[in-house]
Amino acid sequence: MIRILLWFALFGVFISAACTSASGPSVKNGTWRATLTRDGQTLPFLLDIQANPDQKTYTVYSINGTERLRLDTAYVENDSLHIPMQLFESDLVAKVEGDRLSGVWKRSRLGQVVGTLPFAATHGDTYRFFKEENQTSDKSAGGKWATLFRSSETQDSTVAVGVFEQKGPAVQGTFLTPTGDYRYLAGSVRGDSLYLSCFDGNHAFLFKAAFQPDGSLKGGFWSGVTDYESWTARRDANAQLPDATKLTYLKPGYETISFSFPNAEGEKVSLSDARFKNKVVILQIMGSWCPNCMDETNFLSPWYKQNRDRGVEIAGLSFERSTRLEDSAPKLRRMVDRYDIEYPVLLAGQSEKDSAALALPMLNHIMSFPTTIFIDKKGKVREIHTGFSGPGTGHYYDEFVEDFNRLVDKLVSEK
């Protein structure tokens, strides 16, 4: 009897090992503290990983401040967890070793890997930069900051406005720039320094800065695989950006816009089509690779469903990594499916600002993805809004929504 029981026990172990080998290791449910490493710096973020009912795939969220951003469905292959982010041509791939993941973050372009960073994660850790008991500081990053970023490579500078809230050592907020915001940043103040980070599949941001004797901030900004900028900031309750409606405009002699671009099925759509005639039209200059554009799409997609019966149409003019429809059509479809878009999304050109300017030669330039163009019922351009203040900007987003609705209401009411 003992031999029989021992045989069944060994058989069970064998079957269990065979099943594990066939399906790969399982990944523990819960919060994982993840890090990317670059130039001796550690960029932390949080992942929430939960097994799906099929026990073969996983639902994963990247957590940045108040945002829980759902990534594409993850899966285990051999000994590694794969977390794809197809819209951004980005993947996290890591070997599963109990409470630890170790691997790489890969950036690709048109199917070719163009950069990697080491990636690691630990199950059960919920802090971002420092464990709570190790955080002490009498400094505050809360409020509004007049900020200047400067590229170490080109020496170009970007004016920004930092807006942050601090509770204890914890800090949340973002930087607004003339071309859009840096989305949801989260971190803390420790000692004499501020630490912030974000990972959303496209953005991998790390900000560090030291408080100076005069109360200003001075530090560095690591972005993606290679980019670096220095930055300084001074507290300024009146800091503001240039008027977003004055940066992009029609060239002299133009009042209207015209275009004819294909959708993902190759069918040409033009502004002269019957669906746009005698309607207020909103053009969304965008790209599937652009997180700020996705924030705007998250607003526009449900807004369109609620308002199209009022005589309003939207068209997305998407500038992608490739002008070849066979390359870019799958990205357009993924974007349409993910955000449940019911207005046409068209392949308008390549994802460079110069290319966008060539596709729409009546504009002085395109300086930001997204850029939003408002056209009245007679086909005249009434306003062009550069950039987008997303929900990570707090009341700036609320103000954008109010201004957006006020303008559309005005255009709809016109005869």
* Residue 298 pLDDT: 97
Q: SS3 for 19? A: helix
Given the candidates 2.40.128.120, 3.40.50.300, 3.30.360.10, 2.60.120.40, the CATH classification of the domain at 141-235 is 2.40.128.120
Opening angle at CA 365, ends 363 and 370, nearest 5: 100
Decide whether 21-123 matches 141-235 in CATH topology: yes
pLDDT for position 84 = 97
The pLDDT value given to residue 6 = 39
CA distance 376 to 408: 9
User: Mean pLDDT for the chain?
Assistant: 92
Q: What was the pLDDT predicted at 23?
A: 60
Question: CATH: 3.40.50.800, 3.10.110.10, 3.30.390.10, 3.40.30.10. Which one for 260-413?
Answer: 3.40.30.10
Q: What is the pLDDT of residues 74-97, one digit of tens each?
A: 999 999 999 999 999 999 999 999
Residue 385: what pLDDT? 98
Point out which residues pair with 44 in neighbouring strands. 35
The long-range contacts involving 400-404, CB below 8 angstroms and separated by at least 24 positions, are 401/299
Per-residue confidence (pLDDT) for residue 79, from 0 to 100: 95
The single-letter DSSP state of residue 242 is P
Going across the sheet that includes 381-386, the strands are 345-350, 312-320, 280-286, 371-375, 381-386
For residue 60, the cross-strand partners are 49
Report the pLDDT value the prediction gives residue 135, as an integer from 0 to 100.
Answer: 66
Give me the residue spans of the domains in the chain. 21-123, 141-235, 260-413
CA–CA gap between residue 401 and residue 385 (Å, rounded) = 12
Report pLDDT for 226. Answer: 94
Q: What is the pTM of this model?
A: 0.90
- Cα 271 to chain centroid distance, Å, stands at 29
Average pLDDT per 10 consecutive residues for the chain, totaling 415 residues: 41 38 79 98 98 95 96 96 96 98 95 95 96 77 98 89 95 96 96 96 97 98 96 97 96 96 97 97 96 96 98 98 95 96 97 87 95 98 97 95 98 95
Cα–Cα–Cα angle for 291, 295, 296, rounded to 5 degrees: 115
Which residue's entry shows tokens 């791939």? 93
Give the pLDDT score at 138. 87
Task: Tell me what pLDDT residue 235 has.
Answer: 98
- Please give the single-letter amino acid code of residue 49: I
